[in-house]
Structure 1
Amino acid sequence: MDERELAQETEWIARVLGEARRQYDECAGANERLEAEARETNRELWEEVGPLGAGGGLEQIADFMGYIDAMKRQGRSHAALRGQRTKLERMLLSPYFGRVDFRKNGEDEARPAYIGLANLVDADYRALVCDWRAPVASLFYDYETGPAAYDCPRGRIEGELTLKRQYRIRGGRLEYCFDSSLKIDDEILQQLLGRSAEGRMKAIVTSIQREQNRAIRDERGPNLIVCGPAGSGKTSVALHRAAYLLYRHRDRLSAQNILILSPNRVFADYISDVLPELGEEDIPQATFAERMRPLLPRAYKKEDYAGLMEYLLGPGGHTAYARRTRGIRFKSSARFLALLEMYAAELSGAERSFAALELGGETLASASELSRLYNREYRAFPLKKRLGKLRARCLFLLENWEQGRARILASGKYPPGSDAYRSLACAVKREVHSARARVEVWTAFDPVALYRDFISGLAGRQGEGISGDVADICADTLENLGAKQLFYEDQAPLLYLAALLGDAEKDAQTKFVLVDEAQDYTILQIKLLRLWFGGAGVTLLGDPDQAINPYMNLGGFDALEGVFPPGETQRVELDKSYRSTAEIAAFARALLPEKRWGELAGRHGQAPATLYFPDEALLRRTLAADAAVCLAQGYRSVGIIARAKHQAAEICRSLKGKLDAKAILCGDEEFASGVVVIPAYLAKGLEFDVVLLYDAPGEGFRREQERLLFYTACTRALHELRLYRVGDGAPQ
């Protein structure tokens, strides 16, 4: 870039910042006027209308509601201004990060487009900065200089990209810019990857890669599967995709129409800054367990996912452990799912017979009539609704009968207060109560009883493709249900059965669901999500190599074939890992039984180290000292990752008074920078500058089924990874 171009760039940034400042000042003035109007409206409300009272009449109520409506409009305007001011505040610090000059086919000159976090349009309606989600901005992420194209509402626009330029602007000052005919990661990305992790996740809008951009903008169908290795940016893709959908469909979509399903609340807090940083409202987040909890029977003790993981990471080798793990694997299998769906279909298709509805010697509905209603008239409805409609019909008939008896009592035939009057009134009440109880029994819908019946049926089918192991699993499940205990592996099947039979209110508000860490779901759980959210588009993001539960997982995204309608689901592979140094990534990949992913980001650092100690006390002292040294070296986040919760708790106790460390043990805590002590299964999705992996003596990562949990823990490290073990030899 020569001096003339540099002068032009300096002039342009001054123009952009000047326009951003002008609009910011306008917003500030409009905000002051709105606040003054709000104060005046509030004063008029109390002075001219006053508090509502019984003597005010309808006119006072109408005046009061008029003022309330005005205050609501002012509130909405104030919120819009606040959002605009926040956007402009960011632009005054860093208005854009990229530029593309694009010459459309048939035109003589290329037109520049500056790319930033949001649009900035001047008073003459000239776009000074384009939002990174705008169609033309895809050129910045998808192409080097040369032939290029982008899609927009008018169709595909083809031409030539004559210039791609990248900028770093901080505090409103241009630090540097350079032309790049290479990929984004050849310059700025390496600097971003090399920096320290500062608490919560940040937006990656300045360094989105081509394959990530393809996933973010993919609209070929309502459903999308994004798979890739640890550190490939899957979570960032999910969040930027949410922001893109809000921008692309802003006329019909709001933040409340999107739901992000996170693995736990720690992770939800960790990613909570990204969307506000992109200028969007916070999107609702939940965990799968949180969606299940209010639907499960209150009378039962319910195990959570952390409880399940702690059990699986506990001492194995005994009979009960082996039986339960076999049960978890079976209940997560396609075979179990097929049997459950078959049972639901049989229930829905089976005809039922009913006794006649009789009351006071009268037949209000014959047995054949009730059977006809259920088996013929209501056949098109799900089972629960069929029973509900039959109940409503019976209660209607009972109410009519009761009203008839009330008319007799009111006719004067029996003097009020007489023995005959009281006797008849009591008889009516008693008979109606008894009849209502019978109707409730006939039309009861009890998902737990149905699930128990299903499990009992499986136990009785030994020899019909059902092994003795399954019979034992069924016996254990029935025992648990009898003790009012719902283990985690039974919760989703119970709710799925209920949903198949019509006991699921579809969430009509949610239009898009983004499921992170989808490898830790089962096919049954994914199908349950489909029933809960009806026609909502689903984006699944995950990595089969990070399945932390060896018995309950997806097994691979190929297993989802048939879950979504044909032709409505696209799949994007993110093949490159960006998080860890090449040395850490190579160490972690060597743990995997097969090489599934490709390229690594070309960033180098120290090789992972395994440190051995003669005893546990020395190990823990060294662990505390090393964590303190890492902070002194300038690292912002150090993750001390243990295999299980009780180990993490022990480490925290040993660090007390030596090091300021935050314990994350339950999955509902807030994420924090500095030193964090956490079990491995809660660390998925997080990242730390340094990971110090505590391998407790006698109960470390030894079992083959924990290989992927160990891999997941190792891949949390950005810059350094150390493994601490008790064993022969001095520290190395």
Structure 2
Amino acid sequence: MPTDAQETGGDEVLAAERAHLAESRAALRRMREYARGLSADMAADWVSRQILESLLDKRVAALADHPDTPLFFGRLDADGADTEVPPTIHVGRRHVHDGDEGRPLVLDWRAPISRAFYQAGPDEPMGWRLRRRFGFRGGELTAFEDEPLDGRALGPSTILTDEIERPRTGPMRDIVATIQPEQDSIVRAELPRTVCVQGAPGTGKTAVGLHRAAYLLFTHRERLSRSGVLIVGPNRAFLSYISAVLPALGEVRVDQATIDDLLGAPLAAEPAATGALKGDARMAAVLDRALWRHLRRPEEGLVVTRGASRFRLADHEVREIAASLRGTMRYGNGRAAFAQRLAHQILIRMEQRGEAPDDRVQDQVARSKPVKALVELVWPKVTAEQVLFRLCSDAGFLRGAAKGVLDDDEQRALVWAKPARSHRTVKWTAADRALLDELNDLIERTSSLGHLVVDEAQDLSAMQLRALGRRCGTGSATVLGDLAQGTTAWSARSWKEVLHHLGQEGDVTELTLGFRVPGPVLDFAARLLPEIAPELEPPRSLRAGTGALDVRRVPDQVAGAVAACREALDREGSIGLIVPDAAVPAHAAALESAGLDHGVLGPESDGLGRLLVVPASLAKGLEYDHVVVAGPAEIVAAETRGLARLYVVLTRAVSTLTVVHESDLPARLVDVLERDS
């Protein structure tokens, strides 16, 4: 959408903007050198010096200049009505100022004044008359487009479209140059507010969540530096894919983890039905009862000897103290409080005899052998592993804990057929890990973070969500996902349910306008929605994507996939060959025989490389310029929610999707192909 300024003076404008870019890079270099020259020697002690050195190192890292990434991507020109506002501002990934004059050369996209770059329009120009977007190739400024904010009808932004559609290899990029108004509203939601985003494929929900984390760190730097921000993703490959986004925005202090990183990696598998039962929210009540059933009824009182005196508590008094504490606090705290209450009653006996004991005497009594022995007898110290081991290996104990909560069949499903000898030798499953975390919190409180970003949240069980909710119990969360992409046996059916299990109250925003997935590809995959998520609105794509979809029936699926990959290698961009998990070795071997350089994506791999063989179970959250899907029928047949897995797989393409199949396609996809033909 060229303007008169571009037609008559484009070269001069480009030259001026390039000069501003060079000046900004030089200023950033000086800022980094200044930060590198700061010393931690001023710290008062060794510990403070180590902390200060770490902070300075992070500051230097945050000021890194990535030569292939433009420092600014936009500019706003003021209408002149407000003399307090600068006549022009450049909006970029971080703040850059002239070290000598303190003059801002680039304003951080998260600054309040920068909000207008995303939100200003003809109806509300917000005090600005012109928005300018810049086009870059590598780190070189190559083009610009001006958009008057006076309501003149203009076509779509070529620069914006090119940036959205630009082929990509390697990790996910930030989207600060292309954030849309509805995305910006989510990004800038305030810290106390929990936000839940239901996002169709290609709507940028993951990017929105990451940018909200960056915005909150900018806006609440001191608070979140103390309490922390955590990104939780579905697997290591996904976390590797998104790992470059926040550092590119200058944020290097955000932790990333999978649910297994937080709760512990599973050491064994189990039937999906058993895992789903263990993931049911009702298990929280069962675990709570199981833990407190470890308290025992005292059969005798307490006798404490102090010098020549003996002080007694009757058994009924001990029972009353234990009963008054039971269930009023966490198990571990209750155990400590029980010892102190017993000691306090002994001090009362001492005072009744004319003595004057102080708090130190109470602590001594609480640590005395008679009190410790009684506490261990009545309120024994237990671990989460001991409780869960007993629950799953002792049918009678489980019956008492699950009465009225789980039926007989469910109880039988939880009891191990061949129990391990002790809790130390058990190979815990993924569902067990969430139960252990629940028990650990019942024993000792789990510490909370300032903010938690949970991606693909629809795939987490109620017990896993409770575990994450404990980690933002005093903070807030950004919850991201797509109910249509739920592929686990316990996948959520509503976001209200997810928020409830997280212990959060929040607003649900639905993103249905896709920016990344071509229209024909998205429409093809959306034919599955009536089967997997009939309540969701079908997504729409901004991109026409002519020729983006190619569905081929072939006599040899593996050979057909190799041929499709060879064709894709002639185009620019990354390629993902997505296949059923069991077919990964065969496809990798076929690519090797064909002489096509490739990698294989694994749970712990970084996901880098031009051509990757991707197991269908790991495709969620990833995207590739060109996707080849081999064996859709086999992908569906491999899982209980196989149609949802296929929906995920079909929506990973940014430019083209080629579907190669021997067996019949799912009926809804056949129907749309027949109608199109």
Query: TM-score, with normalisation over the residues of structure 2?
Result: 0.79
Alignment CA distance shift 1:377-1:629 (3 Å): closer
Give the corresponding residue for 1:156.
Answer: none
Cα offset, 1:468, TM superposition: 5.3
Give the corresponding residue for 1:204.
Answer: 175
Give the corresponding residue for 1:112.
Answer: 88
Asked if structure 1 preserves the Cα contact closer than 8 Å seen for 2:145 and 2:159, the reply is no
- Which deviations, in whole Å up to 9, do the C-alpha atoms of 1:222-252 show, x marking residues without a partner? 3111111011111111111111111111233
* TM alignment of 1:573-592, pairs within 5 A: 573-592=510-529
Q: Which amino acid aligns with 2:288?
A: A
Alignment CA distance shift 1:723-1:21 (3 Å): closer
Give the corresponding residue for 1:317.
Answer: none
Establish whether residue 652 from structure 1 lines up as the match of residue 588 from structure 2.
yes
Cα offset, 1:554, TM superposition: 1.8
* TM alignment of 1:85-484, pairs within 5 A: 86-87=64-65, 94-103=70-79, 111-122=87-98, 123-149=100-126, 160-170=127-137, 173-180=140-147, 186-219=157-190, 221-254=192-225, 257-293=228-264, 302-303=267-268, 307=269, 324-333=271-280, 337-338=281-282, 340-341=284-285, 344=288, 353-356=297-300, 366-376=314-324, 380-390=328-338, 436=373, 439=376, 442-451=379-388, 452-453=390-391, 467=407, 469-475=409-415, 484=426
Give the corresponding residue for 1:693.
Answer: 629
Asked if structure 2 preserves the Cα contact closer than 8 Å seen for 1:359 and 1:435, the reply is no
Distance 2:343 2:86 in 1: 75
* 3-state SS in 2 of match to 1:281: coil
Return 214-223 or 367-376, whichever deviates more.
367-376
* TM alignment of 1:518-529, pairs within 5 A: 518-529=457-468
Cα offset, 1:131, TM superposition: 1.1
Distance 1:168 1:705 in 2: 43
Distance 1:71 1:531 in 2: 30
Give the corresponding residue for 1:680.
Answer: 616
Alignment CA distance shift 1:162-1:514 (3 Å): same
Q: Which amino acid aligns with 2:237?
A: V
Q: Which amino acid aligns with 1:546?
A: Q
Alignment CA distance shift 1:565-1:161 (3 Å): farther
Cα offset, 1:544, TM superposition: 0.4
Establish whether residue 16 from structure 1 lines up as the match of residue 20 from structure 2.
yes
Distance 1:125 1:347 in 2: 61
* 3-state SS in 2 of match to 1:708: helix
Q: Which amino acid aligns with 2:27?
A: Q
Asked if structure 2 preserves the Cα contact closer than 8 Å seen for 1:141 and 1:184, the reply is no
Asked if structure 2 preserves the Cα contact closer than 8 Å seen for 1:185 and 1:209, the reply is no
Asked if structure 1 preserves the Cα contact closer than 8 Å seen for 2:452 and 2:476, the reply is yes
Alignment CA distance shift 1:707-1:185 (3 Å): farther
* 3-state SS in 1 of match to 2:513: coil
* TM alignment of 1:66-85, pairs within 5 A: 77=56, 80-81=59-60, 83-84=62-63
Establish whether residue 539 from structure 1 lines up as the match of residue 478 from structure 2.
yes
Alignment CA distance shift 1:171-1:270 (3 Å): closer
Asked if structure 2 preserves the Cα contact closer than 8 Å seen for 1:581 and 1:718, the reply is yes
Return 9-18 or 253-262, whichever deviates more.
9-18
Alignment CA distance shift 1:474-1:523 (3 Å): closer
Give the corresponding residue for 1:625.
Answer: 563
Q: In structure 2, which of residues 433, 437, 456 is the aligned counterpart of residue 495 of structure 1?
A: 437
Asked if structure 1 preserves the Cα contact closer than 8 Å seen for 2:633 and 2:664, the reply is no
Asked if structure 2 preserves the Cα contact closer than 8 Å seen for 1:169 and 1:176, the reply is yes
Cα offset, 1:647, TM superposition: 2.1
* 3-state SS in 2 of match to 1:623: helix
Cα offset, 1:572, TM superposition: 2.1
* 3-state SS in 1 of match to 2:479: strand
Cα offset, 1:205, TM superposition: 0.9
Give the corresponding residue for 1:405.
Answer: none
Distance 2:391 2:192 in 1: 39
Q: Which amino acid aligns with 1:136?
A: I
Distance 1:282 1:605 in 2: 42
Cα offset, 1:447, TM superposition: 3.1
Return 165-174 or 431-440, whichever deviates more.
431-440
Unaligned runs of 5+ residues in structure 1 are 42-62, 150-159, 295-300, 309-323, 399-430
* 3-state SS in 1 of match to 2:641: helix
Distance 2:82 2:43 in 1: 62
* 3-state SS in 2 of match to 1:276: helix
Alignment CA distance shift 1:221-1:715 (3 Å): same
Alignment root-mean-square deviation, CA: 4.3
Give the corresponding residue for 1:611.
Answer: 552
Q: Which has the larger radius of gyration?
A: 1
Asked if structure 1 preserves the Cα contact closer than 8 Å seen for 2:197 and 2:509, the reply is yes
Q: Which amino acid aligns with 1:355?
A: E
* 3-state SS in 2 of match to 1:201: coil
Alignment CA distance shift 1:530-1:692 (3 Å): same
Distance 2:507 2:186 in 1: 9
- Which deviations, in whole Å up to 9, do the C-alpha atoms of 1:343-372 show, x marking residues without a partner? 626966998522336789988765334334
- Which deviations, in whole Å up to 9, do the C-alpha atoms of 1:613-647 show, x marking residues without a partner? 43xxx43233223323321x134322122222x32
- Which deviations, in whole Å up to 9, do the C-alpha atoms of 1:199-229 show, x marking residues without a partner? 1101111111111111111117431111110
Distance 1:106 1:625 in 2: 61
Alignment CA distance shift 1:453-1:723 (3 Å): same
Asked if structure 2 preserves the Cα contact closer than 8 Å seen for 1:388 and 1:443, the reply is no
Give the corresponding residue for 1:718.
Answer: 654
Q: Which amino acid aligns with 2:106?
A: V
* 3-state SS in 2 of match to 1:140: helix
* 3-state SS in 1 of match to 2:621: coil
Distance 1:185 1:444 in 2: 67
Return 349-358 or 231-240, whichever deviates more.
349-358
Unaligned runs of 5+ residues in structure 2 are 347-367, 666-676
Cα offset, 1:588, TM superposition: 0.6
Distance 1:673 1:461 in 2: 51
Distance 1:71 1:458 in 2: 50
Distance 1:232 1:719 in 2: 15
* 3-state SS in 2 of match to 1:144: coil
Asked if structure 2 preserves the Cα contact closer than 8 Å seen for 1:391 and 1:440, the reply is no
Distance 2:140 2:154 in 1: 25
Return 596-605 or 369-378, whichever deviates more.
369-378
* 3-state SS in 2 of match to 1:97: strand
* TM alignment of 1:532-571, pairs within 5 A: 532-549=471-488, 551-560=489-498, 562-563=500-501, 568-571=505-508
Distance 1:330 1:503 in 2: 25
* 3-state SS in 2 of match to 1:206: coil
Asked if structure 2 preserves the Cα contact closer than 8 Å seen for 1:637 and 1:674, the reply is yes
Cα offset, 1:327, TM superposition: 3.3
Q: Which amino acid aligns with 2:549?
A: P
Distance 2:105 2:43 in 1: 45
Q: Which amino acid aligns with 1:175?
A: T
Cα offset, 1:495, TM superposition: 2.5
Q: Which amino acid aligns with 1:115?
A: V
